[in-house]
Every structure is written in C-alpha cells, then in structure tokens.
C-alpha cells in the first residue's frame, strides 16, 4: 500500500525488474507486479489519507477465509477487515496478530497467488519479527495449523521456522535480542546482487534500513521504498 502508485511502480521496476500492469477499476486501483510474465506481488493506493503507514502485507493461503477470521479472533488476534469476496478471484481478510503485527489471508478461487517464488525477482522468504515470540508462535500454530521447528532457542537468537513436510515457508524471529529490528512481517525478495539492488534503491528514492551483510543464508539487506515501505533483499 502506497500513497504514490506511479513512484512505487518506477521504484520496483528499477530495483527488482518488475512490470506493473493496470488493474481492474472495480478493485479500487489494485494492480499486480509481474516478473517474467508471472504475478509476484500486488499494490494499491493508500485510501487512509495517510493514517496508515505504507507497507507490504503478507497473505496466508487458507481454504476458508471466514473460518480463518473466526479463528483469528478466538486465538487472541484482531480482525481488521473480515472475509471479503474479491470478484471471482478469491476471498481476503486482514488481521492483527496478538503482538499487533498485521497480515492477511487469501482463499483462492480463480487467482491462486504467486506465479513464482524463491527466484530472482520473486519473494524468497517471509519472516515475522516479533517482541512476543511465544504468544505469536502459538497463535499461528493454533489459527492456521502451522507446524513449527526451533532453529535456535538461546537468549541471543530465538528463531523458529514454519514447515510443510521438508519445505520451510516462513520464519519467526524474536527481536528482543535485536533492537535494530521492528515488529512486522518482513518479506525477502530475491536479487542477483544485493549490493547492486541496494544502489538501485538509493538511486530511486529509497533508503537503507540495514546495510548489506553476508550471512549463512545469503547476502542480505533491508531497505525502504520512497514511501517508507520496508522489505528485504536476498542474494
């Protein structure tokens, strides 16, 4: 969600090589970003007149959005927008988890979601940064049936992954040991070269939240687009 759609479209084209395609007017200006002709993300103008910060929202695939919204409330979350049909594409809902971090659900119908993941120019990882690790871990397990595994459980680094069989699809990070991180769902987009992508972000009005660094999981950086929406880059 962004106050300046045109600026966002130019920015993500320069940084991630995305192509924005005009959406259906009946959906309030919502549009999709494509990479190599496959849908990888969506965007929409800020309708809150500046009351909501520009941000990326991660959506969890569900089989029944209405039931998921009911489970959100029964497990300590807060429904922001209840299950709403989006034409014939699917049903969406938006919520706050018990730590106050926002996310959404998507019940697919005609539109399944991502056309590609875990590649350059596509989402590669989703990470919940939270100060209430135990509360939100239990919330997502109970609300969405997630199976989680602790990757590390020390005072310096608490991190769990959400798993489907051998596939890991999200991470939960206790940021109480990392004051430089803020609570949010952080999406990581794949890039060929993290340094080049950061330079492109700066050249197109973005800013650096966390500079490029080598990690066991790749060369990573966290940046913000011109409107302040934060995301990560993963080489």
Note whether 101 and 132 are same-domain residues. no
Last residue of a domain, one of 47, 79, 108: 108
Q: Specify if 115 maps to a domain.
A: no
Q: Specify if 116 maps to a domain.
A: no
Name residue, tokens 């209405």. Answer: 66
Name residue, tokens 């009351």. Answer: 51
Q: Specify if 113 maps to a domain.
A: no
Per-residue pLDDT of the chain (235 residues; tens, 9 = 90+): 999 999 999 999 999 999 999 877 778 889 999 999 999 999 999 876 766 789 999 999 999 999 999 999 999 999 999 999 999 999 999 999 999 999 999 999 999 999 999 999 999 999 999 999 999 999 999 999 999 999 999 989 999 999 888 889 899 999 999 988 999 999 999 999 999 999 999 999 999 999 999 999 999 999 999 999 999 999 9
User: What integer pLDDT is reported at residue 22 of this predicted model?
Assistant: 84
Q: CA dist 47 to 29, 53, 186, Å? A: 10, 11, 22
The domain that holds 146 is classified in CATH as 3.10.180.10
Q: CA dist 56 to 116, 134, 135, 155, 162, Å? A: 18, 24, 22, 29, 20
Note whether 154 and 60 are same-domain residues. no
User: What integer pLDDT is reported at residue 50 of this predicted model?
Assistant: 66
User: What integer pLDDT is reported at residue 191 of this predicted model?
Assistant: 98
To the nearest 10 degrees (0 to 180), the angle between helices 133-144 and 65-74 is: 140
Q: Quick one: which of 161, 135, 164, 126 has its CA closest to 75?
A: 135
Note whether 78 and 139 are same-domain residues. no
Provide Rg for the chain, Cα atoms: 17
Note whether 215 and 158 are same-domain residues. yes
Last residue of a domain, one of 108, 136, 158: 108
User: What integer pLDDT is reported at residue 89 of this predicted model?
Assistant: 93
Residue 126 and residue 170 in contact, taking contact as beta carbons nearer than 8 Å: yes
Strand pairing category for 59-61 and 102-108: parallel
Domain, as residue range, for 160: 123-234
Q: Specify if 114 maps to a domain.
A: no
**Start-to-end Cα distance in the chain:** 25
Note whether 154 and 215 are same-domain residues. yes
């Amino acid at each position: 969600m962004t106050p300046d759609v045109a600026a966002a479209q130019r920015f993500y084209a320069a940084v991630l090589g995305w192509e924005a395609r005009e959406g259906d007017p009946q959906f309030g200006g919502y549009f999709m970003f494509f990479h190599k002709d496959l849908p990888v993300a969506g965007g929409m103008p800020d309708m809150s007149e500046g009351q909501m910060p520009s941000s990326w929202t991660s959506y969890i695939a569900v089989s029944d959005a209405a039931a998921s919204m009911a489970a959100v409330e029964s497990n300590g979350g807060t429904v922001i927008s209840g299950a709403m049909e989006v034409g014939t594409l699917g049903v969406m809902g938006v919520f706050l988890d018990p730590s106050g971090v926002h996310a959404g659900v998507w019940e697919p119908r005609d539109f399944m979601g991502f056309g590609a993941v875990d590649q350059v120019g596509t989402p590669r990882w989703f990470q919940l940064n939270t100060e209430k690790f135990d509360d939100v871990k239990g919330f997502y397990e109970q609300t969405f049936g997630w199976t989680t595994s602790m990757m590390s459980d020390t005072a310096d680094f608490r991190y769990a992954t959400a798993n489907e069989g051998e596939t890991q699809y999200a991470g939960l990070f206790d940021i109480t040991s990392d004051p430089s991180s803020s609570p949010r769902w952080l999406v990581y987009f794949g890039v060929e070269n993290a340094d080049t992508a950061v330079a492109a972000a700066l050249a197109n009005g973005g800013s650096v939240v966390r500079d490029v660094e080598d990690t066991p999981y790749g060369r990573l950086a966290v940046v913000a687009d011109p409107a302040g929406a934060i995301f990560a880059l993963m080489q």
